[in-house]
Amino acid sequence: MTSCVPNAGRRGGLGCTERSQGTPSGRANELGVRRGRSCNPRHPPEHARSQVVNEVKALLDERLRPAERLCRRADYLRCYRTGRGRHGSLAILYFIPNELGHPRIGITASRKVGKAVARHRLKRRIKETYRRWNDRAKLPALDLVVHLKPEASAADFRTFRGEVLRLLSGVLPKREPAA
């Protein structure tokens, strides 16, 4: 016996799957859900849906992958010691060229900035600002470290975002004048 149940799993509720009590082919998983064909003719097969979903995700992908973040202490120290800095009222941006071919970002905040909740909120705001920044693709291969000042915890998001964007846009390559 098979019945159509909504697929509310990893696919976000798109389409449906078949649920059966037991299949002689052994294609059902332990929950009795068979994948690969749709019960309803209005729902496209799952592989066609997943291909479209993957294409849309690729266009809208704005997340920071691990390769785009600084992780090692040595990378942070190299930025602090040998890199250049741009100073703002709420943060300091250190940057140094890297050989990876793409920019990486790291964020630091000392306990002077505030308690853990405030520090993590500010870090999330920096990540969000950087992640959604339109000129992010124009950045050269740099390691960036944003160090928060204690005054950052009192700033509202609009002011903080403007400050971070001003610092980031200062490291963009200069445009050549049109001839």
Mean predicted confidence (pLDDT) in 89-111: 92
Is the pLDDT at 20 greater than 50? The verdict is no
Rounded distance between C-alpha atoms, residue 120 and residue 114, angstroms: 10
Query: pLDDT, tens digit, for every residue of 22-76?
Result: 555 555 555 455 555 555 556 555 666 666 666 555 545 667 788 888 989 999 9
Mean of the per-residue pLDDT values of the chain = 78
**With contact defined as beta carbons under 8 Å apart, do 43 and 15 qualify?**
yes
Ordered by where they begin, the domains of the chain are 2-60 (no CATH), 66-169 (3.30.230.10)
Cα–Cα distance between 165 and 90 in angstroms, integer?
12
From CA 177, how far away is CA 179, in angstroms rounded? 6
Q: What is the pLDDT of residue 66?
A: 85
List phi, psi (to 5°) of 129: -65, -45
Residue 122 clears pLDDT 90, i.e. is over it: yes
**Banded pLDDT at 156 (limits 50, 70, 90):** very high
Check residue 171 and give its pLDDT: 87
CA-to-CA separations, 96 to 56, 124, 143, in angstroms, rounded? 34, 23, 5
